[in-house]
C-alpha cells in the first residue's frame, strides 16, 4: 500500500497517562502534515481541534478499562462530540463479556451509539478475551449498531494480532491498534482484515511505506 493511501486509514495516536497538551498539538500537526487522522484524550480535544483542519479527530471514552457506567459513557460521548470529536472509540465492559451478560453489554453499546451522530468504534481488548469471547463481543457490537470494532487500548499485555483482527472482521470493519510500530506491522494487520490502524508511530510507518505502488 502506498504512503498516501495508508495515511488515510491511520489514527495517529497519543493516549498515554502522561500526555500533555503540547504532545497532542505535535501529534495533530503531524496528522495534518501526513494526511492521517488523530486520536487524543477527551481532555485535549480543544487542542487537537484547533490544529486539525482536514484531519478527523478521534477520542476515547471509558478508557482504558471500560468500567464506567453506561450513562457516564454516553454522556462522555455527547461531551466529546460537542467538543469537536468526529469519531468515538469506547471500551466495552470486559468483565460483563466474561460474565456472559450479553444484554448488559448490548444495552451499553446501543446507548452510546444512540447518543451521538458519530461513528462509534467498540474497543474489545482482545488480549484479555478468549476467541469465543471475542466473537461474542463482535456479535453484540454488530447488533448494537457500532460502526467499527477495535482490537486494543494499547495498555493490555498484548496489542493487535492477526488472529484477533481476522476474528473481529467477521462482524464489522476493524481498527487494529496496539503495538503497530512499522510498515511491516501495519501491512500484516491490513492483510488480516484491518481497515483502520491506531498507532503512535504513524509518522515512522508512513516514512517506511512506498511513495507509490
Give me the phi and psi of 108, to 5 degrees please: -65, -50
CB 146 within 8 A of CB 109: yes
Count of C-beta atoms within a 10 Å radius of residue 45:
22
CA dihedral 127→162→142→178, nearest 10 degrees, is 50
Distance CA 76, CA 78 (A): 5
Positions marked active-site: 89, 150, 175
> Is the omega angle on the peptide bond into residue 64 within 30 degrees of 0, that is, cis?
yes
Give me the phi and psi of 212, to 5 degrees please: -140, 165
Residue located via cell numbers 464506567: 68
Amino acid at each position: 500500500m502506498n504512503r498516501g493511501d495508508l495515511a488515510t486509514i491511520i489514527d495517529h495516536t497519543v493516549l498515554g497517562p502522561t500526555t500533555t497538551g503540547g504532545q497532542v498539538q505535535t501529534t495533530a500537526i503531524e496528522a495534518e502534515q501526513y494526511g492521517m487522522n488523530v486520536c487524543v484524550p477527551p481532555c485535549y480535544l480543544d487542542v487537537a481541534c484547533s490544529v486539525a483542519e482536514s484531519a478527523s479527530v478521534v477520542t476515547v471514552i471509558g478508557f482504558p478499562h471500560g468500567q464506567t457506567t453506561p450513562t457516564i459513557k454516553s454522556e462522555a460521548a455527547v461531551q466529546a462530540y460537542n467538543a469537536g470529536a468526529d469519531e468515538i472509540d469506547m471500551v466495552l465492559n470486559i468483565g460483563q463479556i466474561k460474565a456472559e451478560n450479553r444484554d448488559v453489554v448490548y444495552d451499553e453499546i446501543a446507548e452510546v451509539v444512540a447518543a451521538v451522530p458519530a461513528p462509534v468504534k467498540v474497543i474489545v481488548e482482545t488480549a484479555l478475551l478468549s476467541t469465543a469471547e471475542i466473537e461474542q463481543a463482535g456479535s453484540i457490537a454488530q447488533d448494537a449498531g457500532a460502526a467499527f470494532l477495535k482490537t486494543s487500548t494499547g495498555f493490555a499485555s498484548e496489542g493487535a494480532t492477526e488472529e484477533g483482527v481476522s476474528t473481529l472482521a467477521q462482524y464489522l470493519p476493524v481498527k487494529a491498534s496496539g503495538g503497530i510500530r512499522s510498515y511491516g506491522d501495519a501491512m500484516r494487520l491490513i492483510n488480516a482484515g484491518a481497515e483502520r490502524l491506531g498507532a503512535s508511530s504513524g509518522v515512522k510507518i508512513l516514512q517506511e511505506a512506498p511513495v507509490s505502488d
